[in-house]
Chain A
Amino acid sequence: MDYLLHILIVALIYSIFAVSLNLELGYAGLYNFGQVAFFGIGAYTSALLSLAGLPVSFAMACGMVAAGVAGGLLAIPALRLTGDFFGIATLVFAEMVRLFFLNERWLTKGPMGLPAIPRPFWIGEGIAGLPMFLIFCTLLTLLVVLTVRRLATTPFGRALKVVREDEYVAQALGKNVLSLKIRAVILGSVLAGMAGSLWAHYITYISPSDFTLNETILVLLCVVLGGKGTNWGPILGAFVIMFFQESLRFLPIPVDFGRLVAPLQGMIYGLVLILIMLKRPEGIISEYRGSPLC
């Protein structure tokens, strides 16, 4: 039972993470391959501030702001690059952030990581706190989904889609393309920061190895599998992936082969990504509801 609660909580945190990426990738068409950087910045900021004695909710808010500011700092120069180069810039940025966590020991304790990160006081420690944490995550996920749906269904979301479809047309119609993209990245970064700070306070221990390219690929898979550019697709994707990942633990794998599970997972994810691209590029939930164009 506790194990199920654990999977649900992790799936919800990844849902928020996936929704944050979907805002950029699905709606604005920005191939951000460094989303884990903002997840990490949210996690570290929130963890450090709460370890310094500040209230957890305040620390989480700071984590989101820090991620948003970092998103803006990256977006303003990087978005002047075109398509592919933006992807590379974000990838490099994420690696820079990870190396910062690893090397700035005075702040982050380097590879030792940060242990004993407190949870919000009203949630309770250890296993006893799981139900409350699940409720907390559920509420935040709903809030995030409703917020992003609000964004997506208003003219702002439509303008993002125009940018995604054709930047020249967007400009010809008077849209400030750069400004729209920057706003999308900042919003996406804030939400990724929220997911990251939840992660930090849930797991209560973070280290630089939690924020690698693997996490970016995992969240990318959640978005693409679930259906990019849709409200519920990324969440569906996050649940499918998390439950799949956990179900591997129950396979009768001999102890000697245990070390093969992680690489095997990576291979399966790669295979799934390729199959989606080939067979159903729009994901499980389609943005275009059965249109023959797809």
Chain B
Amino acid sequence: MLRIEDVTKGFGGLIAVNDITLRLNDTGITGLIGPNGSGKTTLFHMITGFYNVDQGRIYFGDKLISQLPPHAISRTGLVRTFQQTRVLPFMSTLDNLLSAAPNQAGERLSSVFFRPAVVRLEENKNKERAREILDLVSLAHMSDQLAGMLSFGQQKLLEIGRVLMARPKMILLDEPTAGINPTLIRQLVEIIRGLKERGIQIFLIEHNMPLVAEICEKIFVMDSGSLIFSGIPSEARENTRVIEAYLGREDRAA
């Protein structure tokens, strides 16, 4: 479904992502791991259009997306979250979700003025769906609160809910469990698995290895901008290059 072909990105002299080729078919949950600075988030930024690719192509489905602006990529059903939680702090929790509803007639001025009934109907449907999602992420009681007042963990949940509201085909999660407590991690895992059940593909960056081993069917490992491993999680633990990337190489010369 997602095809990345020979993608490279440099910042000045630093090559952040070096000639990466990978393919996500219909795997439910795929992980992307690697030490800090290995280029994972840069790759995510390129997939979602926030960075231009220097070389290479990215396809989503049959569509070439590597030249599209971020909003156009999002509209193809490939939606992301950010590493730093980014709720819309001065908007209500409900509005945070509603603003993610895709392709709203009410965002076109012609509809706002000349087809108010259509806009109202659409808005009611979206509100209903937003309430369902709020239930799913246990935030129903917070729907009228400003999102900036939610706790950090709740904001993480809201972000997942917001992505879901966008009716994605694939979700890119950048470190969904960073900085949250174990109970909430369990809840998040359940939600992510639920998404998979609904047929939504998940591609996630994660540092929590036991979690990756638990939920991911397939993983990719990056180190210093290059792809060094792809396969099932249990094999990665045996792989010398992966071990070296995380623990360092034994220095035989010494």
Least CB separation from A171: chain B residue: B70
User: B35 contacts the other chain (Cβ, under 8 Å)?
Assistant: no
User: A173 contacts the other chain (Cβ, under 8 Å)?
Assistant: yes
Q: If A154-B106, A158-B98, A159-B107 touch, does A171 touch B149 (CB 8 Å cutoff)?
A: no
Q: Identify whether the interface residues of A are mostly helix, strand, loop, or mixed.
A: helix
Contact of B106 among A156, A165, A171 (CB under 8 A): A156
The reply to whether B71 and A175 form a contact with Cβ atoms under 8 Å apart is: yes
Query: Which residues of chain B (87-122) have a CB below 8 Å from chain A?
Result: 88-91, 95, 98-109, 112-113, 119, 122
The reply to whether B82 and A171 form a contact with Cβ atoms under 8 Å apart is: no
The reply to whether B98 and A156 form a contact with Cβ atoms under 8 Å apart is: no
User: A105 contacts the other chain (Cβ, under 8 Å)?
Assistant: no
A173 contacts across to B, CB distance below 8 A: 71, 74, 79, 99-100, 162, 166
A151 contacts across to B, CB distance below 8 A: 109, 112
Q: If A171-B71, A173-B74 touch, does A155 touch B107 (CB 8 Å cutoff)?
A: yes
Q: Which of B72, B79, B112 has the most CB of A within 10 A?
A: B112
Distance in Å: Cβ of A65 to nearest Cβ of chain B: 16
Query: Which residues of chain A (162-180) have a CB below 8 Å from chain B?
Result: 162, 165-166, 168-177, 180
Least CB separation from B126: chain A residue: A155
User: A287 contacts the other chain (Cβ, under 8 Å)?
Assistant: yes
B98 contacts across to A, CB distance below 8 A: 155, 158
Q: Which of B88, B103, B162 has the most CB of A within 10 A?
A: B88
Q: How far is the CA of A288 from the CA of B79 in the complex (A)?
A: 29
User: B153 contacts the other chain (Cβ, under 8 Å)?
Assistant: no
The reply to whether B149 and A169 form a contact with Cβ atoms under 8 Å apart is: no
Least CB separation from A160: chain B residue: B107
The reply to whether B119 and A154 form a contact with Cβ atoms under 8 Å apart is: yes
A169 contacts across to B, CB distance below 8 A: 82, 86, 88
Least CB separation from B73: chain A residue: A174
Contact of B166 among A161, A170, A171, A174 (CB under 8 A): A174
The reply to whether A155 and B104 form a contact with Cβ atoms under 8 Å apart is: yes
The reply to whether B91 and A171 form a contact with Cβ atoms under 8 Å apart is: no
Distance in Å: Cβ of B19 to nearest Cβ of chain A: 26
Contact of B88 among A161, A177, A183 (CB under 8 A): A161
A293 contacts across to B, CB distance below 8 A: 89-90, 146, 148-149
Q: If A292-B149, A293-B148 touch, does A168 touch B86 (CB 8 Å cutoff)?
A: yes
B109 contacts across to A, CB distance below 8 A: 151, 156, 183, 187
Contact of B108 among A156, A171, A174, A177 (CB under 8 A): A156
The reply to whether B113 and A171 form a contact with Cβ atoms under 8 Å apart is: no
Q: How far is the CA of A293 from the CA of B145 in the complex (A)?
A: 11
User: B50 contacts the other chain (Cβ, under 8 Å)?
Assistant: yes
Q: How far is the CA of A176 from the CA of B69 in the complex (A)?
A: 9
Q: How far is the CA of A156 from the CA of B112 in the complex (A)?
A: 8
B146 contacts across to A, CB distance below 8 A: 288, 291, 293
Q: How far is the CA of A180 from the CA of B109 in the complex (A)?
A: 10
Distance in Å: Cβ of A30 to nearest Cβ of chain B: 16
B90 contacts across to A, CB distance below 8 A: 161, 165, 287-288, 293
Q: If A156-B107, A171-B70, A291-B146 touch, does A162 touch B88 (CB 8 Å cutoff)?
A: yes
User: B23 contacts the other chain (Cβ, under 8 Å)?
Assistant: no
Least CB separation from B74: chain A residue: A174
Least CB separation from B100: chain A residue: A173
B122 contacts across to A, CB distance below 8 A: 155
Distance in Å: Cβ of B169 to nearest Cβ of chain A: 13
The reply to whether B112 and A154 form a contact with Cβ atoms under 8 Å apart is: yes
B89 contacts across to A, CB distance below 8 A: 165, 293
Contact of A168 among B50, B100, B123 (CB under 8 A): B50
Residue interface bits A171-198, CB-to-B below 8 A is 1, else 0:
1111111001001000100000000000
Q: Which of A165, A168, A291, A293 has the most CB of B within 10 A?
A: A165
Distance in Å: Cβ of B17 to nearest Cβ of chain A: 20
Distance in Å: Cβ of A187 to nearest Cβ of chain B: 8
A180 contacts across to B, CB distance below 8 A: 107
Instruction: Give residues in A with beta carbon < 8 Å to B.
Output: 150-151, 154-156, 158-159, 161-162, 165-166, 168-177, 180, 183, 187, 287-288, 291-293
The 7 A-B residue pairs with the shortest CB-CB distance in the complex, in nearest-first order? A155-B106, A174-B74, A171-B70, A165-B88, A174-B75, A155-B104, A154-B106
* A168-B50, A171-B69, A173-B79 given; 8 more Cβ-contact pairs under 8 Å: A155-B98, A155-B119, A168-B82, A171-B71, A172-B48, A174-B74, A175-B71, A180-B107
* 9 contacting pairs across A/B (C-beta < 8 A): A155-B101, A155-B104, A156-B112, A169-B86, A171-B70, A172-B48, A172-B70, A172-B81, A174-B75
